[in-house]
Amino acid sequence: MKRMKQKRWIWISFVILLMAGVAGSILVMRQNGAEQVEIVQDGKVLYSLDLGSEEDRLIEVEYEGHVNQIEIRNHRIRVLEADCPDQVCVRMGWLDSAAPIVCLPHHLVIQFAEQSEELDAVVR
């Protein structure tokens, strides 16, 4: 009986440690250049931007005669206008760390840099 109890405590402290580790690494990730954003087309990085130091501006990205207007404002980034049929990228609004902005018809992805590193790790 006594040993069972001990085992359970080891298990619980293991879970707590694990959770603390995950929370810690998320915090570190956010501090280490969570502002670094990449605009990727067909797997090629067109722009690598540091949102923390970017001025407000518009970036135009072309794909076979089609255009995505990307807006940087107040250190955030979004697709302002696009002539793709689904308009999903426009409706996604400002980029947050939860999900990249994707324009499938134009093979365009806007994402935080460390998300792509994670993806690379998974692919490899």
The residue within the footprint of Zn ion, chosen from 49, 70, 84, 101 (CB under 5 A), is 84
Please state, in angstroms and rounded to a whole number, the distance separating the CA atoms of residues 123 and 30. 23
Task: Say which DSSP state 6 is in.
Answer: H
Shortest Å, Cβ 104 to Zn ion = 7
Other C-beta atoms closer than 10 Å to the C-beta of 48 total: 11
Residue among 67, 63, 112 at smallest CA distance from 90: 67
Q: Counting contacts by CB under 5 A, is residue 82 touching Zn ion?
A: yes
Shortest Å, Cβ 87 to Zn ion = 6
Q: Counting contacts by CB under 5 A, is residue 40 touching Zn ion?
A: no
Site of interaction with Zn ion (CB under 5 A): 82, 84, 89, 103
